[in-house]
Amino acid sequence: MKDLGLCQRFLGLNIFQYPDGSKAISAADYTKSIFASYSLDPDAHNPLQIPLVAQQHLEDIPTTATTTDNHEYRSIVGKL
């Protein structure tokens, strides 16, 4: 067994340990990888097609209404 020192990264999360004993966890690298995998710019407003019409009450949607392909939306949300 080998002592690797203080933990700096675990399960894709960055772990910061400060001299006063406090700790911080960041998922910035993981979030950036999600943006990169879908060619999204994290600094720009990138509207994403969601599988529902915006600002429409659910009871107003006819059963024959067509929606956008929900595969990409579910994939991105699932990674969060």
Instruction: Tell me which H or E stretch contains 19.
Output: none
- Asked if residue 32 lies in contact with residue 42, where contact means CB atoms within 8 angstroms, the answer is yes
If one compares 12 and 58, the residue with the highest pLDDT of the two is 12
pLDDT in tens, 20-67: 989 899 988 888 888 888 887 767 765 656 666 666 666 665 666 556
Q: What is the pTM of this model?
A: 0.50
DSSP 8: -
Other C-beta atoms lying within 10 Å of the C-beta of residue 31 = 14
- Asked if residue 35 lies in contact with residue 41, where contact means CB atoms within 8 angstroms, the answer is yes
Compute the average pLDDT of residues 62-78. Answer: 70
